[in-house]
Every structure is written in structure tokens, then in C-alpha cells.
Chain A
Amino acid sequence: MKGNARFTERETGQEGLIHMVQLTIDDIAVDVPEGTLVLEVALAQGIDVPTFCYQKRLSPLASCRMCLVAIEGAAKLQPACVTPVMDGMVVHTATEQVAKIRASMLELLLANHPLDCPVCDKSGECELQDMVFEYGAGVSRFQDEKRVFHSQDLSLNQVIIFNSNRCIQCQRCVRICEEVVGAVALGTVEKGMDTAITGFENSLESCDHCGNCIEVCPVGALMSQPYRYKARPWDLVETDTTCPFCGTGCQLTVSARDGQLARVTSKYETGVNGETLCVKGRYGIDFIDGGDRIETPLLRRDGTLSAVTWEEAYAALREHIGDPAAVNGGRIGGLASAQQSCETLYLFQKMMRTVFGTNNLDSSNRWAAGIYDALPGLFGDLYSRRPLDELLEADSILVIGSSVTDDNPVSDYLIRATLRNRTGKLFLASARPSRLDKDSTAHLRLLPGDEVQLIALLDHALAGMAGEAAAPLGEFVQQAVTTVKSAASVTVLVGVDLLRAPQANLALQWLERFLRRLRGSGKQVGLQFLFDRSNQMGAWEMGVLPGHLPGWRSLGEAGFEQAWGKPPPRMPGADIHAMLERCADGEMDLLYLIGSDPLAAYPDRDLVEKALSSVGLLVVQAAHHSATTARADIVLPGAAFGEETGTVIGNEGRVQIIREIRRPAGRARRNMEILTQVAETFDCDLGAATPQEVFAEIAQLVPSFQGLSLGDISAAGALTASTPRVGGEELDGPPMPTRSNGLRLDNGKLMLVTGDCGFHSGFATEQSATLSGILKDSYVEIGSTDGQAKGLAQGDNVIVRSGRGETRLKLRLNKNFPPGLAFIPENFAHPRLNQLFSQGEYPCPVDILPDHAP
């Protein structure tokens, strides 16, 4: 039953062998590929066949019996959702008997249903209501007492509230939790009429809180706690937009009532995510109401920040910088957050280049130095600007250096769901254990930084050269290469762990070499990054880079001077590392940050402290207060997520729209508007100013955007185009990496890694009331055996001490962690995690000691 029409067509299409069968459905003759389900044929023909238990990406159940149809020659009615077409089949979906049975099933379902629609949150968008309206009998014969599981709704956790009496046993929730999310937190107990959905010990305290079970629930059985009794569905104003958190780029719908955020939902078969979202996307959007919004421009006077007008703020900036013609671009730098829109990022780099004459630009606090040398070779012809679900149809999939389960939960779902229905094999290498481990053919624990060894060994093994590596690395390589060699298609997904570690530049060079070798051997090769921030790819494509203009074009390349009316500087600029060092050395007059919070996020707090105190002027354009805004000389309040329109480029290379839900808070302004006004302050005109105008300029200058216009971008987004190969000739063997000691530390130290945890994204979601309700405090997580060896137990207070500093946290033990590994989420301001790190050292060796302080 694994065949669906789409697969059959594509797969056999490639081989040129489409087996078509002809059938008649309600007197319409149709030809469809063999294996298509009767339900799929009906839906494609616009014939409505009702279903409850059927959901496209879930395993078939055929239990609700709503889709029973008449097939000539069959003694009984047949469930359309699992019956494959046969040549010559004659199907009737609208006979008297079919209609009678549909009405019967609904009458049976309603017999025990509480019919408490007036107090049910689902009322108005309930599939059972709709179905009864369409197909139901209208009256019920049943008068005996209804079954009642409980008289009050059960709170299963912070986000899920449950009414078992309304459940119709479609099992969509159980299946999505197991087959797509992989959490297996929901199950079914008892039998017959006592059958009930539940979590272990009637609780879902330990589940993902992703709420996908709520999303797929056709009735008001599983409901959202934060949305409880907030609105009736028909009172909601819905806005379709793109999730602001990771690079997966999920489509979501923000619903507001009277201008107040009410809930976030996902839509069936919409976006890369379909009906799913992760906990961050579904419940973290309330960070926009988190209460730390900057609502007015701020200016430091006599050492303290005080509210000023926009005019005063701009005037102070102009006064400090003076005549822009006289400034030295080398002493000015700009840092942007990779969560700003493409339009803002584009305008930002245009302003920095044309107004301030600098190429000192960067878009992340976290990546290792040197990656911008290696990236252009990947972003030309190798990067797959294609839907992820297509890439996942490859015969073999390699995930390298990504905690995909936490960084990109919905990509994790897609990988799991695809593997269930395909024969493709997954090889996964990451520092932290992944939920995909058990879906993989082989998995490997390796420290950030050791990806380069792995990729170099893969490349060697593919070329038939002997590489030496001890198990388990050697075994993993051998298994992966054996599979890859016989595969016609290979997809490599690269995570952000790889980008953080010192040898990232080398790892990317080896990655390019490996991918070109795969391609050279005739394989279909796919590559995508798994970015943990929504618009990292956009920041790079928009040229927020020290050495490249928009579209990865070289400094000095023609066309920009004409478009911008001013030539961009030719001298390569400094990346964030060099900029901070120069600031610390007193060599910088201005640091302009947009959404960036280096004081909290850059992995060397001492250096940032020194840099921020030594820079001439610190301007921070941001929506939310942060550690860095507290140090600024001028704070310019920008729009938060949902307060302006713009686009982002997700990991698929897909341009998607983030829409305006409400006006900027207080006196905050849209980010592009601020940039335009800053330029005007210096008597410069940035030209394009509206999202449409800026997008049009991007489309003109960035090759991958050619032919796109903002107005044409539909709900499905628009894929950017691959561009010709950038950079040099066949990579001639990058230098072999230096070998790390991996996780074998002998002095009791552990290697500390960081990243997003499953409940938060960056620092933004600390302001989410719902997510903070689920996880409020940071923690340090280590392997159970390491914990035992140190005499430490779950929940102990511990001190984490590095060569640079220490922090106090609660300990978590995880039996799946490899020995020698420690993890602290990078999502919490309080522990000042970055004070443990020093520039260029990642991961970082730490001691974990009992904290006896009261």
C-alpha cells in the first residue's frame, strides 16, 4: 500500500515504464498509474469521498469506514482509502447504499459523542460537524446513556488538553506522533468502546509539545491549551506566513482576534511542512508579545540610555560620524542577524557599502573564520535549490554535523516520514544523539570539527584509496561508501555544527571535492544546508559578506556601480572575528548591528566586552532588548517578526514571504524604512525603498533571483535558480585535516558543544510565554555513564568550568549521549554561556563539578 500516484508516476516515469490502468468512477473513464488508490482517483476527479482516518502521509488504517464505495463485482463496499485501482474497475461513490452507510457511520459516531459543540474550541472547524452537515442523517435514534470517560478535560501538558469523550478513534494523532514526529509519545489503551488515546501514565509531560496531534485531530479531542477559549474560529483573522525560526522554512498561519495573537496553525499539504510544525513554530510565535520590545529610539546620555525622538537619534548619529565622505570605511563595520528579511539585509549591505564605504560585513556570530572562502564553490551549481522531499527520495542520504532533531525538527519529520515509505538509506553523523539514529542505517557520534575527517575519508574511500580510521569512524565510512557507490542518487545534508568548528573551511572544501567526485561518477547529487536560523542563506545571497557582493559576485564585478550609483569598495572587508578584534584594538569608529546580539551569542564574551567598550560608536537596530542593546550608544527600534513584510530564503533555496500581521509596536519602524532614513541622514538615497522595489533590484542583481518578482510569489514560495559553477578548477585535494582526539579526554574533562535545544530557537523564544512555560531554565546535559563516574545525578546543581570562566546549571543525564560530551543550549541569556568559550576554540573542554553552594 506504499504506492501513491505521485511516486508511481515519477519513478516509473524515469524508467519510461508507466503502467496505466483504466477505470470508471461515477461514469467518468480515467487512466491512472497502477497502484493509485481509488480515493486518490476520486479526489483528483473532484469527487468528494469523506474520510476521517485517512491522511496522506500516514500509514493506511481503513478504520473509520467513511470512504466505503461500491465497486462492481465486489460483494461488500470497499474502503476507497486503501483499495488500489484495477484495470476495468467500475466504482460508484454515490449509490443509495453508499450514502446510507455514510449516514450510518456518522450516526454511530455521534451516538456516544457528547455533542457539546457550544463549549468546544473545535466548533466551527470540526470535521465531524462538517461531515454530519454534509452526509449525516440529521436525527439520532439513540437515546440510551452515552459513554463518558471523564467529566472534565484532562490537561496532558502545558500545550495539550484532552477530551476523550469527543474522540472518534481515527488514530491520526497516534500515527503522526509515531510515524512523522518519531516521538511515540501517544498510544492507545484498552479496547472496544473503552479504547482511549493517552500518553504514558496519562501524561504527555515528556513529549515534544509540538502539537501536531492537535493539528491533525478532526474533532475537539486534542486541543491547544494556549488557545483554549480564546476565540471562535470564525472570529479569527488569519495570515499565512513563514516561520521565523529555523531554515526549514515552514508555512504557518497566524490567527489573531481583535489584533491579539490567538494561535498558530499549519495547513494540510501546504508548504514544505504540510500539516506539521515543531513546538517552536507552533507555540513560540508569542515571543512577539514577550514584553521586552524596544518601542522608542534610545540614546546614551551621561552613561545611560534614554528615550529620544527618531530625529534626535538620527542627528546624534550624524553628529558622531560627521561627513560621510570623510569617514574611513575600514573603521566601520556592520553585523546583521540571519533572521532579518532578504530585503532588509540587501538594503543593509547596500547602505554599509554605499553610505559608509565598507565591506566589513557579517551575518552570524557563530561561524568559524574562513568559511567564506569555501562557500562560493558550493553555492553555485552544487547547492540543490529543490524541494527537500524530492532530495529525500535519493537512494542514500547523508546527514553530517547536524542535530537535525533539535535544529530543524520539521526537516527531521520529513526525513523520517520519507524513509518509512522508501528504500533509501540514511547515514547520520552528529555530536548529539538524534531521534533519527533509529531510522538510520548507521549513525556516528563525532565532535564538531571532526566532520572534515569524515568527509575526507568518504572521499578517499569513494576514490578507492585506502584511508585509515579506527572504528567506529572507519566502519561508518565503509558502510556509507558501500551504499553510496551502488546508489544512483545521493543527498548530503550539512548542519551548523560543521560551520562552528575551527576546521570548517577545510571541511567545506572536502565537501565540495566529495560532491564533485560523486557527480563525476554519474550520480545525481543533492546538497542542502540545515541552517538553524531562518534566513542564513538569504543573508549570504544578499551579500552580507566581507568578500562578496549580492549573488556571491566578486567585489568589483560590473553592474553594481551602475545600479547603485556608487561603486562598492573593492578592498575585501573584515568578517566578524576580525571586526571584533579591531574594535577591541580601538581601530573601529562605528559598529552598526541589525538584530545581532554578539555580547550574548559570540563564542568569546571577553572579546566582545572589550570590543563593545572600545568601539567609537555602537548603533543597534533591533526589535527586542538584549545584552548588546544595553551596551549601545544609539538604539533604533525596528519592527519585530510580523510587523513588516519581507522574504526569506529557506534551506531549500525557496524564497518565501513573511507577512505583516500588525503594525510595529510603539514608535518602532520597519527596518527598511530605518535604513533608508539613516542613509538620508548622510544625504544618501538608497533608491529602492519598498519591499517590491527592493525585491525588483535584487532580482536584477542576484542571478539566482532572476525572473522572480515579489508579487508572483505564491503560498508555495518560489525556488531560486542554480547558477553556474563559481570558483576554480577541480579541487586538487585540499590539505588533509589535522586529527582531533575526538571525545577521548583523559583528565575527566568533557567536550562542550552548544546549539538549539528542542524547545527554543536562538534567544528569541526566551520571550515566548508558552515555550518558557515548557522550558524556562538552561541546563547542562551529559551522558549517564559520565554522570555516574562523577558521582552526579539528574537534577544536581553543577558548575561548568572552562579555561575562561564558569557557570552554574542544573544537570541532565542522557543515556544516549556518548561519553565525553557535554551540551548546553544556546537559548538562554542567564548562564552567559559564551563566557566559557574563547575565539577559535570549539568545542571547548570543560570540567563539570558538583555545586555545593546553597
Chain B
Amino acid sequence: MYEKILLKNLETPGCHDIGTYEARGGYKALATVLKDYSPGDLIELVKRSNLRGRGGAGFPTGVKWGFVPKDTDKPIYLCCNSDEGEPGTFKDRALMEKDPHVMIEGMLIAAYAIGSEISYNYIRGEYTLSIERVETALHQAYERGFLGKNILGSDFSHDMYVHRGAGAYICGEETALLESIEGRRAQPKLKPPFPAVAGLYECPTIINNTETFAYLPHIVERGAEWFRGIGPEGSPGPKLYCLSGQVKKPGLYEFPMGISLREMVEEHAGGTHSGKVKAVIPGGVSAPLIPECDLDVGMDFDSLAAAGSMLGSAGVIVLDDTACVVRVATRIMEFFNLESCGKCTPCREGNDWAAKVLRRLEAGNGRREDLDQLEFLCDSIFGTSFCALGDAAAWSLGAALKHFREEFERHIDEGKCPFH
């Protein structure tokens, strides 16, 4: 068994309450930081831990913090991206519902490191319980002096607010998220300038994922070397994985980075209902699926990238041999089509056409030239879209076409879905 770091509190009833959280050692890391660390030391610590962002892109957290201009006369903002919209992902929701203080404590540590006095937690609008729990937790943290002026008697002051999303997937893209907080239409913005230089209200802004923040108190308490000792050198640490799909034991798991997908599916999740695995989507629907033959891949940023997919949000969706890949691809493309913000041509128009063709194909009305057309669409969208949403849509469809072309052909040839 692997040590539970984040799950330890998550599995403890009542840990969303500050009393329980404190009794289990909560907010001690914050006290340590305020007492013993300079902001620079803290950034160094996180750099040394090589903590990589858990939102999906895996950018080194400490390095990102280092991009905040040193001599700015503008306020510095901190944002927590809790917009968790990636299908198959539910780790941040669990954290906010069951252990919101670890995120708040992590945000405070980050805020201290970058010199921020105001932070926003952008929470997916549908997460009503998360919003309620986080708001209560903020209230408690203010009452106990962990938020507000002169936290724990130090010079450090910080205010934290919840901002509810309004139901658009694109708001998980960091620049669209910032637009949304500003009250504008949520669409990705040009980078550069990067948010660390000109983000929220054109001020330096650091955006990290909920889970990323949750590791910070542990890194402070147990050290960078402890964190780096877990998992592979290039992407170390523990990690939450959301297992779903046709497995016997779906749910939220915590494993060291780098354990094999096969171990995860077959040992921990109890294997599939049919006993066979057709393919696994390893990191939410943005991540290209991995066929059964590649299941020995390590579940970390670098190994999955090398295998032509990505860890993404670690939403692991398992398909057994009764699943129709065409239907899965259709469903995924419909999702991206619905959630495209409409800004750029390839994503707006391309996803729509891909979804139309896929729907028709899945319904048994496909034509041979449809496959060329889908490939053309993938080529036209991938690498040309304004943000990663279009890339993701084309990439995941491309993988389905590449690994399961014969399933598409059978739909066309048989004039119906062979699985349903």
C-alpha cells in the first residue's frame, strides 16, 4: 500500500471543519512559514520539491512563482483554479468538500511566497457543496485569524474570496478564468503577456490548481526532499487519480506519480466488468486514449507525454471491450463542440463539423470519405487553434481514429453501430 497524503484527511469524517483540521495538525505549516521562512526561501523550497502543477499542464510551481516581477508597484493576485470541468475529473471537488482548509492553507503559503494580499478561488458553479464548504471554511479561517490583517501576529495580511463559475468549461483555461473574474466574456487571451506579469486587472497574477495548493502544507512540514523522493525524478510526489468508466471499483485514489496504468486499473480498481480492457483515457477527455497494449505506461507527466498522451487532470476513464470507441469519440467531440468558446475559426467551426460527421457515422449513416474528412478536421484544428481546447479536441479524436480505425470502418460498412 502507498501512504495516503491528501486522502488521509479526505477519509476522515468532519475534516471540512476547522476544529478537526487543526486537531489533525492543520495550519501548523502556515505558522512555520510565517515564523521561519522568507518568501524567497519558500519559493526555493517549492522549486526544490519540483512540485508540478496538478491542473494538467504540469508546469513547475516554484518556477511559475518566480515569474512575478520583483519591483512591481501593482497588487499581486493569487487565483485558485477550482473550475474542474474536465469530464472524468472529481479530485478538486472532493478536496473542497472534505478538506477545504488544506487548500486554504496552501493558498496562504503561496500568497506569502509571492507577496499577494488578495486571492480568488474560482469554483465551478455546479459545485454547490464545494462552494458552501469553502465559504464556511473561509469564515472559520477569518475567525481564527488565519485570514485577514496580520495573520498570526505577523506582517502578512491576506483576504480570500470565492468566485462562482457560470457553467463554461473554457473558464478552466487560466486567461479565460481571469476574464470571467473581471466580469467579461470568458475567452482566452493572448499570451504573452503571461498572467504572472499581467493577469487579473493587468496585475501580476499566479494561478494554481486546487490540488497543487493542497500539497504545499505537506511540503513545508515534511520537506522538499521527502516530496521528491516519491515517484519519478522528473514528476515527483503523490497524486490524486479519478478512476471511472467500466471498472469494478471506480473512485478517488492516491498513488505516487509514475505507477503503471495497468496496476492502477487491474489491481486497485479491480479490473473491468467484462474482464478485458479496450482502452483507457488517462487524463480526462482532453487526453488521447491509450489502447490496452500500452497499459504499462507510467502515470506521470513525462511518461504519458512520451506515450503520445498526457496526464492532464488524471481523470482516468476505462473502457472495456463492450465500449464503442466511435460513440465515445462522438460524445467527447460533442462536449468540445458545446464548450468551444467560439473565438477562433478552427475550434468553433471544426469541432462542430467533426461532431456532425461523428453523429451521423455513429448512427450508421457514415460514408467512406467521412474518415478522410475527420482526419482533415484533426489536421486543421490541431496546432492552429487559439488555446488548448481545440488542440485537445483534435488530439483525442486523432487518437481514436489512429488506434481504432477499424471500428469506424465497421460502422460505415455495417451501416450501424456494431456494439449497440
Contact = CB atoms under 8 A, between A and B. Distances in A.
Interface of A: 1, 60-66, 68, 76-77, 82, 101, 104-105, 107-109, 111-112, 141-142, 144-145, 147, 168-169, 187-188, 190-195
A65 B384 contact: yes
B150 interface: no
Interface residues of B, number: 33
A108 B345 contact: yes
A193 B352 contact: yes
B386 A169 contact: no
A193 B337 contact: yes
B351 interface: yes
Interface in B370-392: 372-373, 376, 379-380, 383-386
Contacts of A65: 344-346, 384-386
Contacts of B339: 191-192
A142 B352 CA distance: 11
Contacts of B346: 65, 104-105, 108
Interface of B: 168, 170, 185, 190, 337-346, 348-353, 356-357, 360, 369, 372-373, 376, 379-380, 383-386
The residue among B339, B342, B346, B372 with the most chain A CB atoms within 10 A of its own CB is B342
Nearest to A66: B345
A1 B192 CA distance: 9
A192 B348 CA distance: 5
A194 B342 contact: yes
A141 B349 CA distance: 14
A76 B385 CA distance: 10
A195 B386 CA distance: 16
Contact of B350 (A82, A108, A187, A188): A108
- 10 smallest CB-CB distances across A and B, nearest first, come from A195-B342, A104-B380, A108-B349, A192-B340, A144-B356, A193-B352, A63-B344, A76-B383, A63-B343, A191-B342
A144 B340 contact: no
Is the contact region of chain A dominated by helix, strand, or loop, or is it mixed? loop
A195 B348 CA distance: 9
Contacts of A62: 190, 344, 386
B384 A192 contact: no
23 contacts: A60-B190, A62-B344, A62-B386, A63-B343, A63-B344, A64-B344, A64-B345, A76-B384, A101-B380, A104-B379, A105-B380, A107-B380, A112-B352, A141-B372, A141-B373, A141-B376, A144-B360, A145-B356, A168-B345, A188-B342, A190-B342, A191-B339, A191-B340
B352 A105 contact: no
Contacts of B383: 76-77
Is the contact region of chain B dominated by helix, strand, or loop, or is it mixed? helix
Given A169-B348, A193-B337, A144 B357 contact: yes
A111 B376 CA distance: 13
Contacts of A168: 345
Nearest to A1: B190
A594 B356 CA distance: 68
A191 B373 contact: no
A147 to B, nearest CB: 7
Contact of A109 (B337, B349, B376, B386): B349
Contact of A192 (B190, B337, B385): B337
B176 to A, nearest CB: 11
Given A105-B346, A145-B356, A192-B348, 14 more contacts: A62-B344, A63-B386, A65-B345, A65-B385, A77-B383, A101-B380, A104-B376, A112-B352, A144-B353, A187-B185, A191-B339, A192-B338, A193-B342, A193-B348
B190 A82 contact: yes
Contacts of A66: 345
A192 B380 contact: no
Contacts of A107: 380
B412 to A, nearest CB: 15
B342 A142 contact: no
Nearest to A60: B190
B190 A101 contact: no
A10 B385 CA distance: 35
A1 B189 CA distance: 12
A469 to B, nearest CB: 32
B353 A142 contact: yes
B368 to A, nearest CB: 12
A733 B251 CA distance: 85
Contacts of A101: 380, 384
B380 A191 contact: no
Nearest to B350: A108
Nearest to B390: A65
A191 B351 CA distance: 12
